[in-house]
Structure 1
């Protein structure tokens, strides 16, 4: 039986599922010709690429990889920085969709929580 805390198991599963959903939705928007309205290209491309990192981080957390908590923290920080850049875009009258605001709030919150759980569950080296 694994000594991994249940919260970390849930965080790992959320990361993988969220990552796969992000890859599919981002891929549809970028490559599938789906009209997503006033997308902000740097946010769309970041989120699509980050989806692969989400999956990798989730697998690493699941397997107990020593590198996984730092990857989760890196994802959280990078997402917060992209969110800040998106807010700047909004404040300077760039075109945007309300769902992007909600998605960035959600992504930043989820990855902040995953990183906190991962760092708390990190085994001392």
Structure 2
């Protein structure tokens, strides 16, 4: 009898993996339409903030990689989800500075960045707990 050393894929793993991949695909489609197609999507975007749009578009690739890693139950995928969350928070902060300094922006950008933060903070939290990853203890000198 052969024992399976890998834990069975469970509903949470399945859910966050597909959420990350789906979110990445949608991000690439929507961001790509504004960045690369001079049409209705760009006009509907209004006063989009270019650095936010480029970050989100490029992050879409990282979302897909993280989703695949989570699907395959790789420990690095939990770390990547944390990096995505932190990077998104930093861009959201920069967006806030842009707004405070009087830059043009759309309310939907603030809503979308809030949604991204919540989704990735949730994915990172679940992935971290599911991965069994621990932070190394600090050494005493």
TM tier, smaller: over 0.9
Measured in 2, the distance between the counterparts of 1:116 and 1:66 equals 13
Residue 54 of structure 1: aligned partner: 63
Unaligned runs of 5+ residues in structure 1 are none
- Unaligned stretches of 5+ in structure 2? 135-141
Within 5 Å, give how 1:32-111 maps onto structure 2.
Answer: 32-33=37-38, 34-35=42-43, 36-111=45-120
Taking CA–CA contacts closer than 8 Å with sequence separation of 6 or more, which of the two structures ends up with the larger relative contact order?
Answer: 1
Aligned length: 125
Larger Rg: 2
Aligned residue number for residue 21 of structure 1: 26
Picking from 28, 35, 46, the partner of 1:30 is 35
When normalised by structure 1's length, the TM-score is: 0.94
Spell out structure 1 runs of 4+ moving beyond 3 A: none
Aligned-residue Cα RMSD (Å) equals 1.5
- Tell me the equivalent position of 2:138: none
